[in-house]
Amino acid sequence: MIRRSALSLVVVAVVIACGGKQPTTSTGSNAAMAPSASSSAGSVETPASPRLFIVFADVTRSLTPQEQASVIANVQTIIGLLPTGAHLYVFPLLEDVQRAGAVFNDQLPQIQTTSDAVAVDMARAKWSRDVADKLRTLLAGPADGRNHTCVSGAFRKAEEITEPGTAAEIVVVSDMLEDCGDSLLHKPVKLQKTSIEREIAAARALPPVSLLQLNGASVTAILPTVPTSGQRVARPPVHELKTFWRAVLDRCGDNPSNYRFGTTVPQRLLDYKADQESLEGRV
């Protein structure tokens, strides 16, 4: 038996109707739910790890087909490393993220037996296929709402879901090229240019007051990879984007020591998979 860590309730006040009910654990439905709080005695302890994963997948038109494929592949990688008991939200990243419903919302069960471990592996595989299909449908669909990228809206959406005491991973799979009329800088911001030194200075000059409260969540940005010759829009160096978003997040209540920004899934996230495989091998 595995001792499950107590999970804080996550309440989502969005277009998805939660109905104020606590969910039952499932492996495939997309009904809106929040993690349940429960525990059980056993000889094997579940490693301390976040149980809430909020993933934003860029579906805007600034991405080339190669970048779109990279976004989907990275989201699938994240799904593949989810620990047991994890609650996953996947949202499309577009112009109005806050009004967009989740394309996926479900929770993995805890593992108590060998058959449970098999069921969890099957659930991850099904989730991966389902999410990829939904993202491909969005990318092939109407352009309405996909002409601008509002990463600020993604962080506002994450604020709605995170709560104090609920360890969370916020993963943004995007080129991170803010093109938003309602940015967290309280003015329009457009990062589709070769240098964003002015925008970095503006972010650093923000008053020392909270823009958001992400309740200590860990933030990771994974940029889709594409040959430079295939880029559809102008973009600054990756290190400038990383600096800009760190300056913004410094006023958003995240966990700065866990901030990761780059073109690959960071080792900090990949470690979840290694920990999970070790745990499953002891069941």
In whole angstroms, what is the distance from residue 101 CA to residue 23 CA? 18
Residues 2-281: name the CATH superfamily.
Answer: von Willebrand factor, type A domain (3.40.50.410)
SS3 state at 45: strand
Spatial distance between the Cα atoms of 43 and 62, rounded to a whole number of angstroms: 51
Give the model confidence (pLDDT) of 178-233 as tens digits: 999 999 999 999 999 999 999 999 999 999 999 999 999 999 999 998 766 567 78
For 3-29, the pLDDT digits (tens) are 333 333 333 333 333 344 444 334 443
What does pTM read for this prediction? 0.80
Angle between helices 114-139 and 65-80 (to 10 degrees): 160
Residue 98 tokens, joined:
């806050």
SS3 221: strand
Instruction: Map out the domains of the chain as residue ranges.
Output: 2-281
Give the three-class secondary structure for 54.
strand
Structure tokens at 94: 């577009």
CA pair distance 15, 23, nearest whole angstrom: 17
Q: Give the burial class of 165: count Cβ atoms within 10 A of its Cβ; 0-12 exposed, 13-18 middle, 19 or more buried.
A: exposed
**pLDDT of 40 above 90:** no
